[in-house]
Structure 1
Amino acid sequence: MSPPAPSAAAPASPCIGLCRLGDDGLCAGCLRTGAEIAAWSRMAEVERSWIMETVLPARERELPPFLRRLPERPRLARVLHPLRRPPADPGWNRAELEDLLPSGLAEAAVLVGLVPREDGTYVLLTRRTDGLRHHGGQVSFPGGRIEPGDPGVLAAALRESAEEIALPQAQVAPLGYLDPFVTVSGFRVTPVVAAVDPGFRPQPHPGEVAEVFEVPLSYLMAPGHLRSIPMEYRGRTRTVLEYDWPAQRIWGATAAILFNLRRRLEEGR
């Protein structure tokens, strides 16, 4: 199929400054391939116009509709660790917990689900059942230990989300990773940030999840809503983070992961 005649006012380039190839081989900002970006300055105007007016809009339409509706997508594409390369660092908070950690850490993954709604983006959270061995009754993200049969971090986060709240893969679009976080209970947690279809209807697993709820991302990203709380642990005072959210206590690892998300988004402005 030959490119059509050029438009009279075709833009010189679709670049929006992200310039980062995703796992699909397309730039997260302009949706061009690496080869198209490299050859752009050598292309004839008719070919550039064809890509701008036909090829790129078609690629945009192929994205899940709920992903296209996520306003934070461009900034997240700039600042998250890419899906093809999970972060290998030991945990951004490990130094402050070194004398409190067990000899070996278990690997875990959680899903930081961002739900684009008409009135803004919301964060999908759960409240765990009281009888669980780890973090019973606490607010958390869907997720858990990475099992030997999991191909990797992303697979573990998706599997756990399907098991805990029945989130199907067709209704989630992974975007990238936040920095790993270490918990005093002995886990190195890698958060997977993903867009979640607002049409998703959670079905909590009664043995693991007591409640599923959403909190506006704008509320969680406002610095004034996060506070530091001193806490005694094994004879030592340490500081944990907590959100001033009236309906649920959002604190500890969950609050710290959201803080990391806020710092990442601030970098992407």
Structure 2
Amino acid sequence: MSASPDLPVSSPCIGLCRLGSDGLCEGCLRSGPEIGAWSRMDEVQRRYLMEDVLQQRQSQRQAFMQRLRERSELERVLHPLRHPPREQGWNRDELSDLLLPDRRPAEAAVLVGLVPRGDGTRVLLTLRTDGLRHHGGQVSFPGGRVEASDRGVLGAALRESDEEIALPLHKVAPLGYLDPLLTISGFRITPVVAAIDPDFNPRPEPGEVAQVFEVPLDYLMEPSRLRSIDMDYRGRTRTVLEYDWPGQRIWGATAAILYNLRRRLEEGA
């Protein structure tokens, strides 16, 4: 059975196209010959490889992902890796009076890393070094601007995570995307949700990251832990979100991304 020329060809490609030392693509886990023969396969062959062979390879390579108890639920409610969200930002209306109509926001991506621990899933966060141009001294996710050399937002999130905290590709398993978020500093942030190997040992880049720490996901998903606060920005009162976590202030864009994660999980329950 051949695929109809009017239908898109099924593909596991997520845009992270680079062969690893084992000869498999670091994004989709296909071998070079499999990638080369993909367009000549019929739909039955492609589906078998995607749903059986590649799933088995992923389970063998990233066994830690099987320990993430929220995995199935997350994969159901997140935007799929093959289809990054295109909308301008779920909070656009809140910033409508700050956005310039003739200026497009700069594209950025962050990694919402979920670490499966024995006592439950934890969220990996960083404290940015004081003096950085954007959000210095604030709690954030690893990430930054999408560069021309990146394979889209996924490639940017993984590259920035490697640069900021030395997170290698074999220690992270992307699951999907949250909704894009606009910031008052002029960025459109696409959050990539991923499982992180609990054996990963962060090595912060001192010029960007002062500290790496974890917060229980259950704590951050509890509605009572999140509060709204008013602050002055350019002479106007703005309402921002904030978590009261001991020793750290988790607020602004980071809190908004966690709120979007909670809403996605609530709506998909």
> Normalised by the size of structure 1, how large is the TM-score?
0.79
Q: Could you tell me which residue of structure 2 aligns to residue 255 of structure 1?
A: 255
Q: Could you tell me which residue of structure 2 aligns to residue 73 of structure 1?
A: 71
Letter in 2 for 1:78: R
In the aligned structure 2, how far is the partner of 1:251 from the partner of 1:64?
32
Q: Could you tell me which residue of structure 2 aligns to residue 87 of structure 1?
A: 85
In the aligned structure 1, how far is the partner of 2:54 from the partner of 2:207?
46
Q: Once the 2 structures are TM-superposed, how far is the Cα of residue 100 of structure 1 from its aligned partner?
A: 1.3
Q: Could you tell me which residue of structure 1 aligns to residue 241 of structure 2?
A: 241
In the aligned structure 1, how far is the partner of 2:11 from the partner of 2:162?
24
Alignment gaps of 5+ in structure 2: 1-9, 15-27, 29-42
Q: Does residue 151 of structure 1 match 2:151?
A: yes
- Write out the 4+ residue segments of structure 1 that deviate beyond 4 Å after TM superposition: 54-61
Deviation sequence 1:200-259 (CA, Å, 0-9, x none): 000000000000000000000000000000111112111100001112000000000000
Letter in 1 for 2:88: P
**What are the residue-to-residue correspondences of 1:1-269 with 2, within 5 Å?**
23=12, 61-62=59-60, 64-102=62-100, 103-269=103-269
In the aligned structure 1, how far is the partner of 2:107 from the partner of 2:13?
26
Q: Once the 2 structures are TM-superposed, how far is the Cα of residue 55 of structure 1 from its aligned partner?
A: 8.5
In the aligned structure 1, how far is the partner of 2:213 from the partner of 2:168?
17
In the aligned structure 2, how far is the partner of 1:147 from the partner of 1:214?
28
In the aligned structure 2, how far is the partner of 1:262 from the partner of 1:76?
11
Contact 1:22 1:82 in 2 (8 A): no
Aligned length: 227
Alignment gaps of 5+ in structure 1: 1-20, 27-33, 40-53
Contact 1:106 1:186 in 2 (8 A): yes
Q: Once the 2 structures are TM-superposed, how far is the Cα of residue 161 of structure 1 from its aligned partner?
A: 0.2
Higher-Rg structure is 1
Q: Once the 2 structures are TM-superposed, how far is the Cα of residue 267 of structure 1 from its aligned partner?
A: 2.1
Contact 1:23 1:83 in 2 (8 A): no
> Normalised by the size of structure 2, how large is the TM-score?
0.79
Q: Secondary structure at the match of 1:244?
A: strand
Q: Once the 2 structures are TM-superposed, how far is the Cα of residue 265 of structure 1 from its aligned partner?
A: 1.1
Change in 2 beyond 3 A, CA 1:61/1:166: closer
Q: Could you tell me which residue of structure 1 aligns to residue 24 of structure 2?
A: none
Q: Once the 2 structures are TM-superposed, how far is the Cα of residue 99 of structure 1 from its aligned partner?
A: 1.4
In the aligned structure 1, how far is the partner of 2:56 from the partner of 2:108?
37
Q: Secondary structure at the match of 1:99?
A: coil
